[in-house]
A and B are shown apart, each in its own frame.
Chain A
Amino acid sequence: TFYTNVSSVPPLHLLNATRSAWETFEKLAGCHAGNKTDGLSKLKQYFRRFGYISSASVANFTDDFDDVLESAISTYQKNFNLEVTGKLDAPTLQQIVKPRCGNPDMIDGASGMNAGRKLRAVAR
């Protein structure tokens, strides 16, 4: 649907439209390495879709918070300028549920975003 201005959007529609396709991920808050939680396999699929987990590395996604997921979260946090904790903390989940471009952030495990860059320091 195309809206020519905001006032043409029906109010009820606005209220019903806040659900994100990925808002189920919000219940994963606080998960960390070693946990097994329903929904983690879907989160792994999300990370695979955007290039953070290679299709070759995992044949079947489980609900285990394993090393692969922890590494994917850390790389994602670097790319989005979040604190790198490797955990599903609130700022990371808030970023994950935001609508976004469908193109991957990483292709063949490489990224031109923060995670693919070396930090350089210059002594003065």
Chain B
Amino acid sequence: YSFFPGKPQWPKRNRDLSYAFVPQNNLTDEVKQVFARAFARWAEVTPLNFTRSESLFRADIVIGFFSGDHGDGEPFDGPMGTLAHASSPPTGMFHLDGDEDWLISGEEMNRRILPVTSVVDLESVAVHEIGHLLGLGHSSVEDAIMYPAISGGHRKVELAKDDIEGIQHLYGDGGSSRRNETSGGAE
């Protein structure tokens, strides 16, 4: 795992982070639910909590789909290429390429279809970008969520050991190991 230069993170007084969607995207609840699932994966291993806000101005994290040049100096390039980008803490800017075809089902794709598709699993990308929003950089570990590349059709949403160690270096585990022990579920 790696961090942004200077290891920026959300301040200790702000462990309850809110996120909002750019209203112009008119996202359905089904799409918004994908992001909720992605945030929950990071909340499970940290003391951080994430709640959806309807107010763009009060939210810590703003999520939006944009095409081409969208004003932040990092234009999107159409289908495939770059899929999304996100800022380091505490900026909270999460942009996704509006020209991609996004899969929101949460199901594995048939291996026969994989080589001929450019449909990208939204939750996989969301989990990765949230890692950036929380302070993680890219990782060379191919199984890690923070590995920079993902092939069309692939789904990778489970945090790897490398991701968990990285994020807990920044925020601690929030008692997640204790929770596992008391519930008897630790393997």
Chain A positions within 8 Å of B, measured between CB atoms, are: 1-6, 9, 13-15, 17-22, 50, 78-81, 95, 98-103, 105, 107-108, 110-114, 116
Interface window among B13-21, B39-47, B137-145 = B137-145
Q: How far is the CA of A19 from the CA of B109 in the complex (A)?
A: 19
Contact of B105 among A5, A19, A99, A105 (CB under 8 A): A5
> Would A18 and B104 count as touching, CB distance under 8 A?
no
> Would B117 and A21 count as touching, CB distance under 8 A?
no
> Would B140 and A113 count as touching, CB distance under 8 A?
yes
Q: How far is the CA of A12 from the CA of B120 in the complex (A)?
A: 17
* Least distance between B5 CB and chain A CB atoms (Å): 5
Chain A residues whose CB sits within 8 angstroms of the CB of B80 once the complex forms: 19-22, 99
Q: How far is the CA of A112 from the CA of B85 in the complex (A)?
A: 18
Contact of A102 among B4, B74, B102, B107 (CB under 8 A): B74
Task: Output the nearest chain A residue to B97 by Cβ-Cβ distance.
Answer: A102
Mostly, the A contact residues are loop
* Contact count A vs B, C-beta below 8 Å: 136
> Would B148 and A100 count as touching, CB distance under 8 A?
yes
> Would A6 and B76 count as touching, CB distance under 8 A?
no
Q: How far is the CA of A99 from the CA of B80 in the complex (A)?
A: 5
Chain B positions within 8 Å of A, measured between CB atoms, are: 1-5, 28, 30-31, 74, 76-86, 101-105, 107, 109-110, 113, 115-120, 122, 125, 128-129, 132, 137-140, 142, 148-152
> Would B102 and A101 count as touching, CB distance under 8 A?
no
> Would B1 and A112 count as touching, CB distance under 8 A?
yes
> Would B2 and A6 count as touching, CB distance under 8 A?
no
> Would A101 and B142 count as touching, CB distance under 8 A?
no
* Least distance between A95 CB and chain B CB atoms (Å): 7
Known: A3-B105, A5-B105. A98 touches B149 (CB 8 A): yes
Task: Output the nearest chain B residue to A20 by Cβ-Cβ distance.
Answer: B80
> Would B5 and A101 count as touching, CB distance under 8 A?
no
Task: Output the nearest chain A residue to B104 by Cβ-Cβ distance.
Answer: A2
> Would A102 and B118 count as touching, CB distance under 8 A?
no
> Would A14 and B82 count as touching, CB distance under 8 A?
no
